[in-house]
Structure 1
């Protein structure tokens, strides 16, 4: 999977009965189904059941690890269609077992008050940074095996972290992470609903890993079990995938083998388009 076209094909589900849809999977380096994929596919199913309203929020729980080799069935429940909002509940199933549930809210277009927080002023621009592909090319043989294997996976998204972390330094770091990202391939004229699905897919990247920064002197991917537990997202404004977007992430807390992270997604000129919050398992392996 190398381009936006490939990603859209993955997210475009096959209808399999009344309010039921079927999806396939693609690995991002994990032995299990990528959480962002399930969120985006569930969203694809829900959007197909809603007319003339746009997604304003989603709230999801990951219940079981998804099997990459088994198709996922998505079932959509029409919870409510009100005067301004519609609510859908989506259940993802593999072999009669529920692996994921999500509630999604859709809102008709309305005018109202407008304000937002500012993007960081001193952030480095993507043209001055190395991408994940660049890091693999320049430092591949020196990287830890799990990091190298992760970077070797073909992705339809290009990521450029603003700070390069050397996993060999064994140094605790602040609980922050700022990553520029851009889709690969021809963007064309995507409608807002498609852009929301793609953004939902991307929103599960780099979030939970930010929580490992304050423990990097002893914790790493090889000795820490990490998995998304829940994921919420709010959508505020339309945006354009033809330019870079910034995912600014922080982890306010880690305790009881769980880590909490949150982030904001900005356009290059500082428009806030979405916010994300996630809690995940971060369990030291014995």
Structure 2
């Protein structure tokens, strides 16, 4: 059997769909094929356990000492992608399994059944020392198509769930229902309602299409019975084809020469060239760092909201800490990061002293061109070609350090200023 064929098969077994890619690849290395003729006992009730069986081809039926013939009940008919057997917790086989036709099974021996119990959806082994962003994007599988996410205490929260968190978690949920040989190449999302940081988020995945090369998934994020976010994502198996790149990476300082965002913030607070009122506000603000290292390239005076300028914003970013090797995780991390400060680019031409602008993401589209690691520096270049009707359009490109375009994206955000001027309420009594 071809290894790629085995991996694709195992990824369609419901028992294995939410496993980390690393676990699935290890299982593919350790399974052995065994063939049976029609009428053969695949396993015998009470017999010693061989491990877990996955039906590759053919059909089988389940019988036991109480119900010797239950083949009229369809739920006891086993076919391709079904599984049965026992692990170490069950030392003997609970029932007879008889081949109804020529049957081929892939068998995972008991000694490897620990692979079925990973530490997280992204990594089979690691738990301690996991990067914060990987914890943020961890989901709890509730069944084949429903996952639960939370806002971990260390995650940025400003009175609501950060949009990038919902997008990254929704993409993670979609990814866990797709063959691991297929990676996301595009997504389109709508932010519908504000998310509550104190409540879990349920992600319901709809398996729209599964083809040989492409798969499509729709994901709804739900809180209090309401859909707060909706995502449509398309996945593709890697294949060779035409290649070109006209996009040119902007000339910016190398990340090693720049300050981290947290360092820049500290310098801003004590810099007398900035208004003291703004510095006091920043000093007193309950600042929660992003789970990413960020180094701003342009504009250099980004730390002040007093000065308007061209709608250009560029920064380097990477995850804080090393990530697991699953390529799908790195794409979810970049989906999270893609919403960081993007809508604000459309407000730069309108900044002035005393002006308050509220902003929120409305819709978001991404195209993933090349594989990358999100724990290595990525340049995020953003512009806003237009703003109208209280909506700002923002366009982004992400490049690796070799200058290769890895992601393109577009977002429209709601940008508003107060329509009623603030007035000072009188403290005098009306009596």
TM-score of the alignment, normalized to the shorter chain, above 0.5: yes
CA contact under 8 A between 1:28 and 1:150: conserved in structure 2?
no
* 2:347 aligned partner: 212
Distance 1:227 1:144, change over 3 A: farther
Superposed, which structure 2 residues align to 1:41-56 within 5 Å?
Answer: 41-51=169-179, 52-56=181-185
For residues 106-133 of structure 1, the C-alpha deviation after alignment (integer angstroms, 9 at most, x for no partner) is 0111110111234345311112222211
TM-score for both structures, normalised by structure 1? 0.91
User: Could you say which structure has the greater relative contact order, defined with CA pairs below 8 angstroms and 6 or more residues apart?
Assistant: 1
* 2:140 aligned partner: 14
For residues 112-156 of structure 1, the C-alpha deviation after alignment (integer angstroms, 9 at most, x for no partner) is 011123434531111222221111222225545665567821322
CA contact under 8 A between 2:219 and 2:232: conserved in structure 1?
yes
The SS at the match of 1:162 is strand
- Would you say 1:175 and 2:311 are equivalent positions? yes
Could you tell me how far 1:32 is from its partner in structure 2? 0.7
Which segment drifts farther, 51-60 or 169-178? Answer: 169-178
Could you tell me how far 1:18 is from its partner in structure 2? 3.6
Unaligned segments of structure 2, at least 5 residues: 1-128, 271-275, 420-431
Larger-gyration structure (1/2):
2
TM-score for both structures, normalised by structure 2? 0.62
Aligned match of 2:337 in 176, 191, 202? 202
For residues 186 and 308 of structure 2, what CA distance do their matches in structure 1 show?
A: 34
Aligned match of 2:156 in 23, 28, 38? 28
Superposed, which structure 2 residues align to 1:1-286 within 5 Å?
Answer: 5-26=131-152, 27-51=155-179, 52-141=181-270, 143-144=278-279, 152-163=287-298, 164-165=300-301, 168=304, 170-187=306-323, 190-217=325-352, 223-286=356-419
How many residue pairs were aligned? Answer: 281
Could you tell me how far 1:101 is from its partner in structure 2? 0.4
For residues 263 and 229 of structure 2, what CA distance do their matches in structure 1 show?
A: 34
Distance 1:199 1:169, change over 3 A: closer
For residues 262 and 164 of structure 2, what CA distance do their matches in structure 1 show?
A: 20
Distance 1:62 1:81, change over 3 A: same
For residues 108 and 57 of structure 1, what CA distance do their matches in structure 2 show?
A: 13
For residues 226 and 242 of structure 1, what CA distance do their matches in structure 2 show?
A: 28
CA contact under 8 A between 1:239 and 1:267: conserved in structure 2?
yes
- RMSD of aligned Cα (Å): 2.1
Could you tell me how far 1:50 is from its partner in structure 2? 0.4
Distance 1:149 1:79, change over 3 A: farther
For residues 150 and 261 of structure 1, what CA distance do their matches in structure 2 show?
A: 27
